[in-house]
Amino acid sequence: MNKNTTEQLKNILNLHKKWVRGEEGGIRADLARANLTRANLTRADLCAADLCAADLARANLSDANLYNANLTDANLTDANLTRANLTRATGKAV
């Protein structure tokens, strides 16, 4: 990921965190079809996020909260899902 993309992702995650908490200005994360190859999403709160068809190959999702996330057609090849919360995550990952 380049620096620009990393900053954009941080912004999306911060707005999503506000959305999860019900805070003003929060926006649900829409990362559908996003290229997140090798992204460091350790401990990211992606609860109910849209990750439909996202490329998460070799991404670090250890300790991430993916509760109720949409992972339909997401590419999780070699992703690190150690201790990730996948409870109620939907879709079939490829």
Q: How confident is the model at residue 91 (pLDDT cuts 50, 70, 90)?
A: confident
* Euclidean distance between the first and the last CA atom of the chain, given in angstroms as a whole number: 21
The mean pLDDT of the chain is: 93
Q: How confident is the model at residue 1 (pLDDT cuts 50, 70, 90)?
A: low
Exposure string of 45-71, with b = 16+ CB inside 10 Å and e = fewer, is: bbbbbbbbbbbbbebbbbebbbbebbb
Each domain of the chain, given as residue ranges in start order, spans 1-94
Cα–Cα distance measured from residue 20 to residue 5, given in angstroms and rounded to the nearest whole number: 22
Q: What are phi and psi of 52, to 5 degrees?
A: -60, 125
Instruction: Summarize the confidence of residues 10-18 as an average pLDDT.
Output: 97
Confidence at residue 83, expressed as pLDDT on a 0 to 100 scale: 98
CATH 2.160.20.80 fits 1-94, yes or no: yes
Q: What is the pLDDT of residues 26-42, one digit of tens each?
A: 999 999 999 999 999 99
